[in-house]
Amino acid sequence: MSIWQYANPKKFMETTGPLLPWIGAASLTCIVTGLVWGFFFTPDDYRQGSTVKIIYLHVPSALMAINAWFMMLVASLIWLIRRHHVSALAAKAAAPVGATMTVIALITGAIWGQPMWGTWWAWDPRLTSFLVLFLFYLGYMALWGAIENDDTAADLTSILCLVGSVFAVLSRYAVNFWNQGLHQGASLSLDKEENVSDVFYYPLLVSIGGFILLFVFLVFLGTHTEIRARRTRALLARERMS
C-alpha cells in the first residue's frame, strides 16, 4: 500500500468521492458552530470592543490563504518530480479557494483596521505581502486558463507556484522579519503569554477547523471536476482524430 496509488485518477475519485458529503457536513458544522459561538457567546475585547468578533473570519481565512499556497507548492513539486496528473490538478483546484480566502482576509482586515488603526490600508510588510500573494493567485489561475496544453500549463504554473512561495513565506513571517508596520504578531501562538485569551481561543479553533475542512472539501470537489474535464477533453480529441 503506497500513497502513490492515489495518483491514479480513478483510485483518487473512488477514495475521496464517498468522503465528500461527510467532509462538507463536518465543515459546515464547524464553521457554523465557531461563528455562532464567537459572534453570540463571547465578550467584547477591552481594547478592540466588538471588532474582536472579526477574528473568527479573519484568522482562519488568512491561515488558509497561506497554507493553500503551500499545499499547491507540494502538489506542484510532486508534478514536477513524479509527473502525477492528479497532483497538478489538485493544485489547480486549490487556487480559487486560496484566492477567495486571501480576499476575505484582506477585506476583513481592512474593515477591522479602519476603526482600530484609523486606516483601511497601510503599506505594512504583512499587508503588502498578502496583496502580492493575491496577485500571484490571479496570475496562477490566468496562466492555467491561457495555455491549451494541460501538461505545459501544469509545468509553467508549477514554476510560478515555486516563485510565489517566497511571498507565501513572507506573508506568514513578515511580522517577524520586520519590526515595523501596523500588523500585530500572530493571534495563535504556543506561547501562552502571546496567545489570544481562552474565551476567544476555543471558538477560533473550531472556526479554523471548519475552514480547513472547507478547503479539503473544495479541493477534492475541484480535483474531481478537473479530472472529469480532462477526460472529456481527451475523449473529444480522440473523437476528432477518428
**Which residues would be at the binding site for other proteins (CB under 8 A)?**
31, 35, 39-40, 44, 49-51, 53-54, 57-58, 61, 96-97, 100, 103-104, 107-108, 111-112, 114-115, 214, 218, 221-222, 224-226, 228-229, 231-232, 235-236, 239
Angstrom distance (rounded) from CA 147 to CA 51 = 44
For residue 14, give Cα distances in angstroms to 11, 85, 233: 5, 16, 21
In the complex with other proteins, the residue whose CB is nearer, 11 or 233, is: 233
In the complex with other proteins, the residue whose CB is nearer, 57 or 71, is: 57
In the complex with other proteins, the residue whose CB is nearer, 13 or 156, is: 13
Query: What cell does 85 get?
Result: 496528473
Task: Confirm if 82 and 68 have CB atoms less than 8 A apart.
Answer: no
Task: Confirm if 35 and 200 have CB atoms less than 8 A apart.
Answer: no
Angstrom distance (rounded) from CA 77 to CA 93 = 15
* Smallest separation (angstroms) from other proteins to the CB of 114: 7
For residue 38, give Cα distances in angstroms to 34, 139, 156, 170, 206: 6, 35, 42, 29, 10
In the complex with other proteins, the residue whose CB is nearer, 125 or 222, is: 222
Angstrom distance (rounded) from CA 205 to CA 196 = 11
Which amino acid is present at 61? S
Query: What cell does 2 get?
Result: 503506497
In the complex with other proteins, the residue whose CB is nearer, 37 or 202, is: 37
| Eight-class DSSP state of 118 | S
* Smallest separation (angstroms) from other proteins to the CB of 109: 9
* Smallest separation (angstroms) from other proteins to the CB of 239: 6
Task: Confirm if 53 and 115 have CB atoms less than 8 A apart.
Answer: no
* Smallest separation (angstroms) from other proteins to the CB of 36: 11
* Smallest separation (angstroms) from other proteins to the CB of 122: 17
* Smallest separation (angstroms) from other proteins to the CB of 32: 11
Closest CA to 57 of 99, 1, 108, 112: 108
In the complex with other proteins, the residue whose CB is nearer, 92 or 170, is: 92
In the complex with other proteins, the residue whose CB is nearer, 57 or 75, is: 57
* Smallest separation (angstroms) from other proteins to the CB of 155: 23
